[in-house]
Structure 1
Amino acid sequence: MKIALASVLLTIATTAPLAAQSVSDFPNKPMTYIIPFSPGGESDISSRFQQSEWEDVTGEQVIIQYQPGAGGAQAWSQLNSLPGDGYSIMQIIMPHTVLQPLTGSAGYETKDLTPVNYFHYTPDAIFVRKESQFTTLKQLVDYAEANPGLITFAGSGSNSSNNLAAIRFDEQAGVTTTYVPFSGSGPSITAVLGGSTMAGFNYATSGVSQGDALRMLAVASAERLPAFPDVPTFKELGYDIVGGAYRGVAVPAATPEDLRQRISDIVSEINRQPDFIEKMEDAGFVLIDIGYDKVPEFVAARIEEYTAGAKALGLVK
């Protein structure tokens, strides 16, 4: 027994420093960053901005992979099947990851996911292409009143922030429009630009990436955005619509606590880089820093908010 106990103690003594060393040296090889949407949208843009800072902060590259499908649900439902070694991370978005499980079989539950950091949000906004007959939100509302169902809004998936905002807009404006979900912001913006839909309930950042090709009619922020000082908020126009998509980073459930914290710290450190801040703000993103210790409270508050909103709007019973 003494020999066995000595062996166990020796094992603990020799492996504990190695475990600590592995976290302090993490990462020591390239990481994979999975984006659950198609290229070209806000998820892609923000991850690319992070990618350009990743090596400076960690000494290693991060490789971006796209896994679009079902408004992000395809990737999120497979997150926990990935190795929990810290080298596979995935972008995560609310309200998608709250609304999808609430409103149907998403292949995952909100509690199954392990976000470690939320680093920005993008407010919803209504866009039309520059050739559109609508130059103000009032003109669009007047048309929708006279032509129920004919206004089509492209958006980044079913049960997304865009979807929730479109339903709320219909309710408050007293109109009936048609929401058309796409597999991410990129394809939904392409639909607006190509005239496949008459308008888009997209994210404000699309106004920067597309320039004069799009016209933003209103934005769902509490105040006008510095990048779009001439665009009114919904609240200014008489609509109680404030919100958008909160993006963060999640890891497989098998990822140890110390690695979860380390990855969260990396994301927070990138958020403090001057070049990153400038790029994000110029692109219309609003930076936040919800680290791993603050994530549970932050997510709980969003779940309460989105669940109440989904019930009020008839998305769930």
Structure 2
Amino acid sequence: MDRDCRTRRASILPRFTATFELESHDMKRTVRLTLAGAALLGALGAYAAYPEKTISYIIAFGPGGESDISARLQEPFFQKYAKQTVAIQYKAGAGGATTWSQLNNMPADGYTIVGTNLPHIVLQPLEKDVGYETADIANVYWFHYTPDALMVPADSPYKSVKDLVADAKKKPGQITFSGSGTNSANHLAQQRFDKLAGIKTTYVPFKGTGASNTALLGKQVSGSWGYTTVQMQLGDKARCLAVAMDKRHPAIPDCPTFKELGFDLVGGAYRGIAVPKATPDDVKKQLSELIGKINKDPEFIKKMQENGFAMIDIGLKEMPKFMAEQCKAYTQIATEMGIKKRDPRCQ
């Protein structure tokens, strides 16, 4: 009896629903159909492939620097793994702060990505109000690291770090060094080395490594705080005096480490990609996975290493822990160097 009732009830329900829809007011039927269509589109959208069009890739510095070189090397691999191109643009200013302060006003759809740098995004807000806090930057991936390198023109009278330090002690403040922006890894290296060596030199910030290199080759400065990548670019036009690594870089084995010379200096710059914070989580995840695929491609790794880069892989999952560690480390260094003037939001 109960089974028969359930069977009749089950057979009646579909007919009732169908009758109700047919006999309902046209407006109500339209609303129901529209809602069903929207739900279907929403479900399809959740599984839409990303990216489906060209991505705008904004570099916070001028052309010619490591951020630009990295993006150019990544460019063909976006095509390989996403079947889409990237349009690389440059928005230099204030050591990257001009772009990073505008990041969260950019379209948050995954089609605007911005190159981001450490220690810049920690050090800049520590010193002053630059229009953003470290916590405002939604990093989705850190993909390489470049060790600091101290360089001079090939015909410089400084043949070694020892020569440079000796002259700097005779002429406090007169020896000048170019670097890629204020409160960048280059600036931090110069500050730390001056303290370790007991000297006073003058740091001249430029809008990116490209401009810093031009100043070095044009002998507008005594030397440059750049990276191992810069030495690879400049070749015999510049002389590498030392690199801030635990061991010598395999691409420039003739350049000693600062540690070998008695200075406990190891450091450099991390580079990655960020998006506006309002970017949907699923898009952030897909973008992070895409950069991860590119970063693990053997051909891409080879090209990066040949240009002096050191690979790292920090995706969304590892990001909170990594950023907490970086914020703590750079805040301590900034405090020791007298750079820290504020207590910004780091995470």
2:312 aligned counterpart, secondary structure: strand
Structure 2 residue identity aligned to 1:18: L
1:166 maps to 2:205? no
Structure 1: 5+ residue stretches without partners: none
1:18 maps to 2:39? no
Residue pairs, 1:69-88, within 5 angstroms:
69-88=93-112
Match of 1:287 in 2: 311
Q: Following TM superposition, by how much is the alpha carbon of 1:18 offset from its aligned partner in structure 2, in angstroms? A: 2.0
Distance in 1 (alpha carbons) for counterparts of 2:127 and 2:228: 26
Structure 2: 5+ residue stretches without partners: 1-20, 22-27, 342-347
Residue pairs, 1:123-272, within 5 angstroms:
123-272=147-296
Distance in 2 (alpha carbons) for counterparts of 1:64 and 1:222: 34
Distance in 2 (alpha carbons) for counterparts of 1:123 and 1:11: 54
Structure 2 residue identity aligned to 1:82: M
TM-score when scaled to structure 1? 0.96
Q: Following TM superposition, by how much is the alpha carbon of 1:105 offset from its aligned partner in structure 2, in angstroms? A: 1.7
Distance in 2 (alpha carbons) for counterparts of 1:151 and 1:302: 31
Q: Following TM superposition, by how much is the alpha carbon of 1:52 offset from its aligned partner in structure 2, in angstroms? A: 2.1
Q: Following TM superposition, by how much is the alpha carbon of 1:235 offset from its aligned partner in structure 2, in angstroms? A: 1.0
TM-score when scaled to structure 2? 0.87
Q: Following TM superposition, by how much is the alpha carbon of 1:7 offset from its aligned partner in structure 2, in angstroms? A: 7.1
Distance in 1 (alpha carbons) for counterparts of 2:292 and 2:129: 33
Residue pairs, 1:48-127, within 5 angstroms:
48-127=72-151
Structure 2 residue identity aligned to 1:225: H
Distance in 2 (alpha carbons) for counterparts of 1:137 and 1:45: 28
List per-residue Cα deviations over 1:268-309 (Å, max 9, x = no partner).
111111221111001110000101111111111000000000
Structure 2 residue identity aligned to 1:236: E
Match of 2:320 in 1: 296
Structure 2 residue identity aligned to 1:270: I
Q: Following TM superposition, by how much is the alpha carbon of 1:312 offset from its aligned partner in structure 2, in angstroms? A: 0.5
Structure 2 residue identity aligned to 1:299: M
Distance in 2 (alpha carbons) for counterparts of 1:272 and 1:243: 23
Distance in 2 (alpha carbons) for counterparts of 1:157 and 1:13: 49
Distance in 2 (alpha carbons) for counterparts of 1:313 and 1:303: 15
2:283 aligned counterpart, secondary structure: helix
List per-residue Cα deviations over 1:233-266 (Å, max 9, x = no partner).
1111111111111000000111000100111111
Structure 2 residue identity aligned to 1:20: A
Structure 2 residue identity aligned to 1:193: L
Structure 1 residue identity aligned to 2:122: V
2:47 aligned counterpart, secondary structure: helix
Q: Following TM superposition, by how much is the alpha carbon of 1:12 offset from its aligned partner in structure 2, in angstroms? A: 6.6
Structure 1 residue identity aligned to 2:100: W
1:205 aligned counterpart, secondary structure: helix
Whose Rg is larger?
Answer: 2
Distance in 2 (alpha carbons) for counterparts of 1:52 and 1:139: 44
Distance in 2 (alpha carbons) for counterparts of 1:84 and 1:109: 18
The count of aligned residue pairs is: 314
Measured on the aligned residues, the alpha-carbon RMSD in Å equals: 1.6
